[in-house]
Structure 1
Amino acid sequence: MDMMMYPRPGKVGLLARRCWPVLLCLTLFAGLAATAGAEERYSIWHDYAARFITDEGRVLDTGNHGVTHTEGQGWAMLFAEAFDDRARFDALWSWTEANLDVLGSGLLAWRYQPEQTPPVQDLNNATDGDLLIAWALHRAAYKWREPEYEHLSIRLRQAIQRHLIRDYGGYTLLLPARDGFVRDDRVTVNLSYWVMPALREFATVDPDGPWLRLLLDGERLLRNARFGDHDLPPDWLTVHQDGTLEVAQDWPPRFGFEAIRVPLYVVWAGREDEAKLDPIRAYWQSPVGGKPAAWINVVNGETAEYPLSRGGMAVRSLLLGMPGKLPEQIHPEDDYYSASLLVLSMLAAFLPEPTLSQATPNQ
């Protein structure tokens, strides 16, 4: 497969392994330097941490009453690793492990509500959050030569494989959570939960696992799940036993706040051609001189009365191949989700793809 372009063990691979932490930082910040000065390279991370992460390591969803999700913990852990903030990473993981590793399945509870007693009310997981955290732990293991982080990543990946992957309707599917999405005659999935760059890397370090099948079938679903006049994927998708696809009935039939992460992850994984994102690109290019609506109903064409957030516009710039238009700072009007999409888009544009995962963390 053309995606398997990572160096195999040997003299070249060994030399690259030893240089990996340096190369990661140099490449990331060399890219960021094209649009920001030396002091600004870290400022977006410092601003994000100051606004959305508590001293104890809990990420606040400021658009949702200050709750915490595994999604946010995973994103922030990826940010901390990318910006070489080991202390913050350790705090984020320590809080996550202490407060969300309570299910007994190896998966993590998806939501923490500080005003509730106990704060974890829903004993279910969110698969994208688990994938993000497993990926962040894996990257941190090699960045800082910390074997324990790789052990934790493997444990979480094994739990994902055990509980959340199902062959159904001719596809290898990623369940959004362990409970609640499988019926006798259908399975509901969320295509934005396919964290493509994480799946790509896991397929390299664990070639006998399900990760490559997930990646390829996620792309196949994206090619087939096109609805409405603009041929867009919906936030939530139903897969029937015979392989037919339809917009899920239990959520608004939108290309919106969920599906906006699809192009982000596909571009980050370098899989635009395989996933065929041209309809999304064409839709986002259409408002000449204006911003696209925050969501569109893929059934009747109704659109939101407000535009994409700054974070959403960052994802748009990423997909349209305009990294120079990515915002360099978080603004006061950016809530947790918008700010997260903004930083994620910057990492997708400038963070080098992990190419040295054959190394052992303690080498």
Structure 2
Amino acid sequence: MTLPKESRRRYLTALALLPVSALPDAMHAATLPCLPTDDWTRFAERHLQRDGRIIDFDAPEQHSTSEGQSYALFFALVHNDRPAFDRILQWTAANLADGQLAERLPAWHWGRKPDGRWGVLDATPASDADLWIAYTLIEAGRLWNHAAYRALGRSVLANAAREEVATLPGLGLMLLPWPRAIASGPLWRLNPSYLPLQLLRRFQQEDPPGPWDEIARHTQRMTEATAPRGFAPDWCAWSEKDRAFVPDPEKPTVGSYDAIRVYLWAGMLHAQEPARAALLHALGGPRALLLKKAALPEYVDTDTGAMRGAAPVGFAGALLPYLQAQDLQAPLDVQLARIRERMAGTPAPAPLPYYERMLLLFGQAWLDGRYAFGRNGELQPDWRRLCAPRRPA
């Protein structure tokens, strides 16, 4: 039977709003291509150790961070890699939380100590990693139907809310970059890239009485207030005296390696996210720059717009969702070409640093359709279309 034209249009529109994983198997096989996973495989081969530790080889102490563990945990879930997921989780709990991840937030920094021993270098938790760990565990519990993951994720989330959320005078509840036990006013340092709105939306669903809805509103306000020329800063601060967001006292008006994630998170927001249009508008700096066919800078002064340095290729990867979300096909093609050129250089290029590889993985996997975020922040992986990794001949 052939549907009338208008009915067919409504059907296709409704179909497009479904997560790909909800489509029938036959439709997957008939209409949709296999999704590549080589970038995750290559990342894991280089950075993921047998015991589950993620190594940053470019650091002098070959360190590991809670950020690296949290991102790798997320991509193991995205790629339905349960063995890697469990190894990463076990190492994180044992080495960063002394085997008590349900009771204590993980230390952010682990590596070789000056005396040659290995262990925690800084026990302070980092709230961005804590949110990603909580989110990924909660979503692993849902997607893999594993109650223990969800329970552990809820414990990490509760610990983050208790220890890393503070009431800032004149603003309200806000997530700090670290525990409030080591923070104080009247100038409160904040990191805009630590607050992906997708995660906050999902936490609103999982923990309705929690602080996440208010933090989401303040995150949007912070993003709009701190990007006068459309560029996000790496750090900013809330001033009790001025009742306003102000430049960070230690790293004022600089947008670079932290801030690049702000565009990444905004680009991956669901089309029906209420704050999406306002955030993309506020973050118009890279858009305007690339439409003029200018090169991405490594550093930008968010107050004056002055730029310096050439952005590493990882920045191009982080901007893929941002450009796609705004239908900027020509700039998107330029960034994709830049990535392909870097990855296929002759002779074989040196391995990319951990952070750049992770930015590329976030951007390319989203662009490929391997994962998306739903309207309420839920993770929507497309496991049935993941290609088996190619093996050497």
TM-score normalized by structure 2? Answer: 0.75
Range moving further from structure 2, 113-122 or 152-161: 113-122
Report matched runs for 1:281-296 at 5 Å.
281-286=284-289, 288-296=292-300
Range moving further from structure 2, 90-99 or 64-73: 64-73
Q: Deviations over 1:292-338 (max 9, x none)?
A: 11111234544332x22222112223212256655579934421111
Query: Can you give the 5+ residue segments of structure 1 that lack an aligned partner in the other structure?
Result: 1-18, 359-363
More strand by share: 2
- Measured in 1, the distance between the counterparts of 2:227 and 2:197 equals 19
Question: Which residue in the other structure is 1:311 paired with?
Answer: 314
- Measured in 1, the distance between the counterparts of 2:201 and 2:314 equals 24
Deviation at 1:215, TM superposition (A): 1.3
Query: Can you give the 5+ residue segments of structure 2 that lack an aligned partner in the other structure?
Result: 1-17, 344-349, 379-393
- Measured in 2, the distance between the counterparts of 1:286 and 1:277 equals 14
Deviation at 1:216, TM superposition (A): 1.6
Report matched runs for 1:158-307 at 5 Å.
158-168=158-168, 169-178=170-179, 182-227=183-228, 230-241=229-240, 242-251=242-251, 253-270=253-270, 271=273, 273=276, 275-286=278-289, 288-299=292-303, 301-305=305-309, 307=310
After TM superposition, where is structure 1 displaced by more than 4 Å over at least 4 residues in a row? 19-22, 299-302, 322-330, 354-358
Q: Deviations over 1:158-206 (max 9, x none)?
A: 0011011112131321110115763331211101010222111111122
Deviation at 1:115, TM superposition (A): 4.3
The higher relative CO (CA closer than 8 Å, separation ≥ 6) is in 1
Higher-Rg structure is: 2
Question: Which residue in the other structure is 2:54 paired with?
Answer: 59
Q: Aligned to 1:74, which of 65, 70, 76?
A: 70
- Measured in 2, the distance between the counterparts of 1:70 and 1:124 equals 10
Deviation at 1:289, TM superposition (A): 3.6
What is the aligned-residue RMSD (CA, Å)?
A: 3.1
Q: Aligned to 2:38, which of 36, 39, 43?
A: 43
Contact 1:205 1:357 in 2 (8 A): no
Q: Deviations over 1:274-300 (max 9, x none)?
A: 543335333444254442111112345
Question: Which residue in the other structure is 1:345 paired with?
Answer: 363
TM-score normalized by structure 1? Answer: 0.81
Deviation at 1:60, TM superposition (A): 1.3
Question: 1:144–1:200: structure 2 CA closer, same or farther, 3 Å change rule?
Answer: same
Q: Deviations over 1:225-259 (max 9, x none)?
A: 234xx243321111011422211121253111111
Range moving further from structure 2, 144-153 or 102-111: 102-111
- Measured in 2, the distance between the counterparts of 1:344 and 1:357 equals 16
Question: 1:21–1:301: structure 2 CA closer, same or farther, 3 Å change rule?
Answer: closer
Q: How many residues align?
A: 330
Letter in 2 for 1:64: A
Identity %: 23
Deviation at 1:212, TM superposition (A): 1.5
Contact 2:202 2:376 in 1 (8 A): no
